[in-house]
Structure 1
Amino acid sequence: MIYGKSVRRGRVIGLVTAVAVGLGLSASGAANADAFMRQPNTVITRTLGDGTVVHMSLLDQSAKVSGSMGSTPLHRNVWTSARVVVDVSGPGASSAQIQLNPGYVVGCQVDISGLNNSDSASESATTSSSGLTPGAPSVGATETLTLAPGQAVTRYLLDIEQPDDYGNEAHKAHPTVKGSHASVSWTDETFAVNGCGGYAQARAFTFADVSTSAGESIISVWGAPFTMG
């Protein structure tokens, strides 16, 4: 079921109490056999300052990784699927508004297993002994990420195209859902890694910006890292 008329590059994205991203891309036909992996679910609960409770789940995660058409060790392709569900209850539920921003951190020979759930996020990509903080968004269909050893990038998934107040084209990466429930899902969302001559891995995440009449909080949920070879 599709609600609204938010269109991005020929794809229709529905948004009422849920956002859905479904690119429906086909397999690559890579020379080597694909590696299919499922990741465990992640479920977190956070209590905000006014007693409002946010329940956030990252579910049905999977990734299919293959080599390039030329079968070179520097190229990988991945198709990812997952869904995120957020429910707000308690004092602020009646006034809640939720923004969801899903994506993946992708690193070349960078340990991203130290990333975990927190209530804050940074917009500049940094690495340290404690892990990596996601950086500026990089959005696009079948996007190629060029990574050298020691580098990591953040790839956000949503790009909602809609007219602004003057009829001009505008893009939003943070659609707002008014209400106590929101969800986002993606199926066969694909990206490629180019130039990484060593170990590469990726990890799903979603930031939820939850605002109520009493305040605003950013909550994050992280999936398990998976190898890209």
Structure 2
Amino acid sequence: MKKNITRRVVAAAGIAGAVAMGLTSLGAGGATAGPLPGGTITKKLVDGTPVTIQLFDEYANVQRAVSNVPTSREVWGSGKVRVTVGGKAEGGSIKVGWEVGCQIDFKEGGASVPGVGGGLDYSDPSNITAGAGLTGDSVGGNVKIGPGQVSRHWLINETSGSDTAYSDYNLSSFTFKGTKGGVVYSQEQFKVDGCIGYAAARAIVQVTVNTDSVKGVVMLNGKPFSLG
């Protein structure tokens, strides 16, 4: 059986208008980021298929870790994602998470380390593997990063084991059929460890769409917010 990932994350096909899935209000804290503006992006795949991603009702509650260690922070994030595809596409998959940086200035299409100059392109989904300051994917609640490093923390990245016989039970994204799909997440937590200096994060949404002629990936970056 597939693992029960979380009761606070809901994948829904055809999310539209006012969704009857309210998000629990998050309490105020020491370094609360509060409401965030989300974002919208529309891209056309090489065969002309339009893909629109909307991130809305985004909220982040940022606090020092319970241990009160200066190099640690805790974040609780909430939001809603709506995806619309056109053309001959019939469905796709959605990955939602956060890009977290230690002493990193996030910019449109990439990030830079203050005082170093030049941009590090972390916007390309193919750059998820480690290298050039990108520490790779993380799951399970903890993100360990040092100065000048960026890591991606996804809501889900579960597997039933290393045995290839269980490959059908791997779960790393939410799938949908038809022209619309979405994800609602509430108070999903991740923890940042080992960051000496300031830290920042931004929501990321990665949508993969297949048509008869192309497999396309579209990435939406939310607005960066400080983790203190």
Provide the TM-score with structure 2 as the length reference. 0.75
Partner of 2:149: 151
2:30 is aligned with 1:33:
yes
| C-alpha displacement of 1:80 | 0.6
- Partners in 1 of 2:104 and 2:123 — Cα distance? 20
Q: Residues 213-228 of structure 1: matches in 2 within 5 Å?
A: 213-228=212-227
Partner of 1:124: 129
| C-alpha displacement of 1:15 | 4.8
* Distance change >3 Å, CA 45–CA 114, structure 1 → 2: closer
**Residues 129, 137 of structure 2: 8 Å contact kept:** no
- Calculate percent identity across the aligned residue pairs: 29
Structure 2 unaligned regions, length at least 5: 16-20, 111-121
| C-alpha displacement of 1:159 | 3.7
* Distance change >3 Å, CA 34–CA 110, structure 1 → 2: closer
* Root-mean-square deviation (Å): 3.6
Partner of 2:44: 47
The alignment of Structure 1 onto Structure 2 pairs a total of residues equal to: 210
Select the structure that is richer in strand.
Answer: 1
2:91 is aligned with 1:92:
no
**Residues 161, 169 of structure 1: 8 Å contact kept:** no
**Residues 102, 206 of structure 1: 8 Å contact kept:** yes
- Partners in 2 of 1:208 and 1:9 — Cα distance? 20
| C-alpha displacement of 1:148 | 1.8
- Partners in 2 of 1:168 and 1:48 — Cα distance? 28
- Partners in 2 of 1:135 and 1:99 — Cα distance? 24
What is the CA deviation profile of residues 13-44 of structure 1, one whole-angstrom value per residue up to 9, with x for unaligned ones?
6556279xx9x999799xx7351422213111
| C-alpha displacement of 1:135 | 5.7
Structure 1 unaligned regions, length at least 5: none
**Residues 144, 192 of structure 2: 8 Å contact kept:** yes
- Partners in 1 of 2:178 and 2:221 — Cα distance? 23
2:104 is aligned with 1:107:
no
Letter in 2 for 1:186: Y
What is the CA deviation profile of residues 89-122 of structure 1, one whole-angstrom value per residue up to 9, with x for unaligned ones?
2x314xx231111111111112222436967532
Determine helix, strand or coil for the equivalent of 1:8.
coil
**Residues 145, 194 of structure 1: 8 Å contact kept:** yes
| C-alpha displacement of 1:12 | 8.2
**Residues 35, 66 of structure 1: 8 Å contact kept:** yes
Partner of 1:211: 210
- Partners in 1 of 2:26 and 2:59 — Cα distance? 14
Letter in 2 for 1:52: T
**Residues 57, 78 of structure 2: 8 Å contact kept:** yes
Letter in 2 for 1:122: N
Provide the TM-score with structure 1 as the length reference. 0.75
